[in-house]
Amino acid sequence: MYNDNPTLLSIKNIDELKQGEVFFNEQTEKEAPKGKKFYIESYGCAMNFSDSEIVASVLADVGFSATRNMEESDLILINTCSIREKAEDTVRKRLRIFDKVKRSRPGTMVGVLGCMAERLKKKLLEQEKLVDLVVGPDAYRDLPKLVSTVEEGEKGVNVLLSREETYADISPLRLDSNGVSGFISIMRGCDNMCSFCVVPFTRGRERSREPFSIVAEATDLYERGYREVTLLGQNVDSYKWKNPETEKVVTFANLLEMVAKVHPDLRIRFSTSHPKDITDEVLYTMRDYENICKYIHLPVQSGNSRVLELMNRTYDREWYMDKVRRIYEIMPDCAISSDIITGFCSETEEEHQDTLSMIEWANYTMSYMFFYSERPGTMAARKYEDDVPLEVKKRRLAEVIRIQSQVSFKNLQKDIGKTYKVLIEGDSKRSDQEWKGRNTQNKMIIFPKKGNHQPSQYVQVKVTESTSATLRGEII
């Protein structure tokens, strides 16, 4: 799940984010102690937004308070992503803006966090000279010491990857303004070596967080009024934790059940799943617990077997289709979304057609769709020629978007007349006379306010119409 646009500290639904939109708990800002202030923007996957909450907690422990006004901040941070070239270009533009603020306010520190920090540390520090701090995703505990190093006139750098760090003992500072939904990081890193992806190099090897701390965090969120948690990991289905004393192994299916039992009114979502790792045990657990949402993000990347082999996805077209069939067999009402890359190395027009047909066959409710962007250091960059012209990549992407839009619209049309349990998230974007919320299938529903309902409450909503991306309905 990916987005190029920034937010301050955390967001609820990444696919809804607008350029420059920030979510911030004003109550937290007002109650923060007087002292140094930090401003942070996050780009990329949901893990980055979750990491920013960890960073906020680490800084709060040493007296920093958050601000959404970078001009008054003592420390400006940007949490970065390297998965696409566009993301890195966006970050560089933001850094130039931060540099102007720094020049106008002597003493202001600028830092780069996350995946781009690890990959481009030398260039950012020595060649472009736009930053004072470079901190990798496993070094956030070190931020206070690194800030002190910068204050003493040196550069602060720590991009070392860890085989153990999960930040399990750090309570993230929740600055999401709606107080309804929160992220919980359950694992870090990735052992899959997809040929197009930089994540294994920038976030390190997989390690799973101790499950009881995850349950404790979910319980705390519920007790504070949150009614939805999203379990996060680069590949959540490969979650595996072994008790060092009993040798008992906790799988992702076990963890899902443990979190679901926190309270029936606490909804559980998760992201992202790798097709090779999602098991029948996970699917049956989803089926058996009403509060585990019937929605799976199952990236296909390409619908063609040869391209999938070049991508090192470890499955072919037929195997993926069998997995989708199994999901629908166990949970007929489950919604599936996907990630799709067009124009991968040597992809032909016929192979591109396989991707288009997969969208229709799998009946994806939505997809994150991109054209291929070669990332330095990946297997694809080392082994394959990026030989599909940019204009062809973009044209194929446009075709993918068009087909997905048609499939999404047909999906929404089928929901007209149905009634769903919807969690109220807050006012709709267009009117404070309407609520917005999602059903178990992760579909957004807009409906007029009625009665004394409030955010964090569940209501039954009957769908009356649909737009190209949203359902509309009324409380019954």
SS (H, E, C) the chain: CEEEEEEECCCCCHHHCCCCCCCCCHHHHHHCCCCCEEEEEEEEEHHHHHHHHHHHHHHHCCCCEECCCHHHCCEEEEEECCCCHHHHHHHHHHHHHHHHHHHHCCCCEEEEEEHHHHHCHHHHHHHCCCCCEEECCCCHHHHHHHHHHHHCCCCEEECCCCCCCCCCCCCCCCCCCCCCEEEEECEECCCCCCCCCCHHHHHCCCEECCHHHHHHHHHHHHHCCCCEEEEECCCHHHCEEECCCCCCEEEHHHHHHHHHCCCCCCEEEEECCCCCCCCHHHHHHHHHCCCECCEEECCCECCCHHHHHHCCCCCCHHHHHHHHHHHHHHCCCCEEEEEEEECCCCCCHHHHHHHHHHHHHHCCCCEEEEECCCCCCCHHHHHCCCCCCHHHHHHHHHHHHHHHHHHHHHHHHCCCCCEEEEEEEEECCCCCCEEEEECCCCCEEEEECCCCCCCCCEEEEEEEEECCCCEEEEEC
Say whether both 393 and 426 belong to one domain: no
Can you give the pLDDT at residue 150? 94
Q: Confirm whether 170 is domain-assigned.
A: no
- Does 312 reside within a domain? yes
Contact 331, 294 (CB under 8 A): yes
Yes or no: say if 476 and 470 are a contact pair by the CB < 8 Å rule. no
Measured N-to-C along each axis, helices 46-60 and 143-151 cross at an angle, to the nearest 10 degrees, of 70
Same domain, residue pair 318 and 203: yes
Do 209 and 331 sit in the same domain of this protein? yes
Predicted local distance difference test score (pLDDT) of residue 127 = 58
Residue 287 falls inside a structural domain: yes
Is residue 412 domain-resident? no
- The domain of 72 spans 2-158
Final residue before a domain boundary, out of 125, 158, 191? 158
Q: Does 154 lie in the same domain as 201? A: no
CATH number at residue 275: 3.80.30.20
CA dist., res. 239 & res. 242, Å (int): 10
Count of CB atoms within 10 A of residue 295's CB?
22
Q: Are residues 185 and 266 in the same domain?
A: yes
117 and 260 co-located in one domain: no
Token pair recorded at residue 438: 């999602």
Q: Has residue 325 been placed in a domain?
A: yes
Residues 155 and 125: their CA atoms lie apart, in Å, by 8
Specify the pLDDT at position 299. Answer: 97
459-462 contacts, C-beta under 8 A, 24 or more apart: 459/421, 459/422, 459/424, 459/435, 460/419, 460/420, 460/421, 460/422, 461/419, 461/420, 461/422, 461/437, 462/417, 462/418, 462/419
Q: Are 121 and 267 in the same domain?
A: no
Q: Which of 162, 164, 271 is nearest to 208 (CA)?
A: 164
CATH number of the CATH domain containing 437: 2.40.50.140
**Are residues 269 and 212 part of one domain?**
yes
Q: So what's the pLDDT on residue 122? A: 74
**Closest to 226 measured CA to CA, from 285, 187, 172, 273:** 172
Last residue of a domain, one of 95, 127, 158: 158
Q: How far apart are CA 387 and CA 381, in angstroms?
A: 11
Residue 154 and residue 16 in one domain: yes
Residue 176 counted as domain residue: no
CATH of the domain at 91: 3.40.50.12160
Q: How many domains does the chain have?
A: 3
Co-location of 388 and 423 in the same domain:
no
Whether residue 395 sits in one domain with residue 424 = no
Phi, psi of 400 (to 5 degrees): -60, -45
pLDDT tens string, the chain, 476 residues long: the values are 444 444 333 222 333 333 333 333 333 443 444 579 999 998 877 888 899 999 999 999 999 999 989 999 999 999 987 767 777 788 888 999 999 999 998 899 999 998 887 677 777 776 567 899 999 999 999 999 999 999 999 999 999 989 899 999 999 988 655 789 999 999 999 999 999 998 888 888 999 999 999 999 999 999 999 999 999 999 999 999 999 999 999 999 999 999 999 999 999 999 999 999 999 999 999 999 999 999 999 999 999 999 999 999 999 999 999 999 999 999 999 999 999 999 999 999 999 999 999 999 999 999 999 999 998 889 999 999 999 999 999 999 999 999 999 999 999 999 999 999 999 999 999 999 999 999 999 999 999 999 999 999 999 999 999 988 899 999 99
Using CA atoms, how far apart are residues 208 and 23, in angstroms rounded to an integer?
29
Nearest-5° Cα angle at 326, 321 to 331? 130
Q: Are residues 19 and 119 in the same domain?
A: yes
pLDDT at residue 80 in the model: 85
**Is 120 among the domain residues?**
yes
Domain contains 413: no
